[in-house]
Amino acid sequence: MPDIPSAEANDREIIPLSHLRADCESCFGLCCAALPFAASSDFAKDKAAGQPCPELRDDYRCGIHSKLRPSGYRGCTVYDCFGAGQKVSQLTFEGRGWKEAPDASARMFEVFPIMWQLHELLWFLTDALSREPAEPIRHELLQALRDTDELTRLNPDKLLQLSVSAQRAAVNPLLHQVSELVRQEARKRFKGPLRTPKKAGRGADLIGAKLREADLRCANLRGAYLIAADLREADLRSADLIGADLRDTDLRGADLTDALFVSQSQLNAAKGDQTTRIPARLSRPDHWQS
Domain borders along the chain are: 11-184, 194-290
The band of 1, judged by pLDDT with boundaries at 50, 70 and 90, is very low
Mean pLDDT of 83-98: 96
CA-to-CA distance for 122 and 138, rounded, in angstroms? Answer: 15
| pLDDT value at residue 271 | 97
Contact 250, 271 (CB under 8 A): yes
Residue 13 above 70 pLDDT? no
pLDDT at res. 194? 85
> pLDDT tens for residues 173-216?
999 999 999 999 999 999 778 888 888 889 999 999 999 999 99
- pLDDT in the model for residue 277: 98
Residues 33-53 have a mean pLDDT of 93
Mean pLDDT of 83-101: 95
178 touches 142 (CB < 8 A): no
Is the per-residue pLDDT at 262 higher than 60? Answer: yes
Cβ atoms 76, 70 nearer than 8 A:
no
* pTM of structure: 0.92
CATH match for 194-290 among 1.10.1370.10, 2.160.20.80, 3.30.470.20, 3.30.930.10: 2.160.20.80
Residue 157 near residue 110, CB atoms below 8 Å: no
User: How far from 160 is each of 88, 105, 108, 110, CA to CA, in Å?
Assistant: 12, 14, 10, 7
| pLDDT over threshold 90, residue 8 | no
Average pLDDT over residues 141-145: 97
Burial class (CB in 10 A: 0-12, 13-18, 19+), 242: buried
pLDDT, position 5: 44
Q: How many residues does the chain have?
A: 290
